[in-house]
Amino acid sequence: MKVAVSSSGTNLESPLDPRFGRASYFLIIDTDTLAFEVKVNDQNMNLPQGAGIQAGKIVANCGVDCLITGNCGPKAYNVLQSAGVRVVTGVNGNVKEVVERFKNKEFEYSQGPNVDGHWV
């Protein structure tokens, strides 16, 4: 299974970035082999608005089944949902640990966004 994790660094030891739209990186991880690919989210860091939408699109285009992050706003959630990507929110810890916990089925999929939009 392929999952995306919002990350503040480029390796599995990095802490999860609780921000989704303005996360520094996304790690696209194969949960079986722990092989991963790094997606830089730099264009969104400074985007005047719509970072969540753009980030949602990046993650959706990677063909992942699930996104694990801290906070996911309504617009990003909409994007991910229509691309068929499930979302886990409210998570922290380092990326490797988070993936292990995901494999152990410790998380539940979110039924909706867990924060309001940024409105900018």
Residue pair 8/15 in contact (Cβ under 8 Å)? The answer is yes
Nearest CB to another protein, comparing residues 35 and 93: 93
Burial of 30 (0-12, 13-18, 19+ CB in 10 A): middle
- Verify binding: residue 90, another protein, rule CB under 8 A: yes
- Verify binding: residue 9, another protein, rule CB under 8 A: no
Q: Per CB under 8 A, which region of 6-14, 30-38, 81-89, 100-108 contacts another protein?
A: 81-89
Nearest CB to another protein, comparing residues 12 and 53: 53
- Verify binding: residue 110, another protein, rule CB under 8 A: no
DSSP result, 43-107:
HHHT-SS-HHHHHHHHHHHTT-SEEE-SB--HHHHHHHHHTT-EEE-S--SBHHHHHHHHHTT--
> Quick one: which of 38, 53, 86, 103 contacts another protein (CB under 8 A)?
53
Tokens representing 113?
Answer: 């966004």
Q: Can you give the binding site for another protein, defined by CB under 8 A?
A: 18-19, 22, 46-50, 53-54, 56-57, 60, 70-71, 75, 78-79, 82-84, 90, 92, 115-120
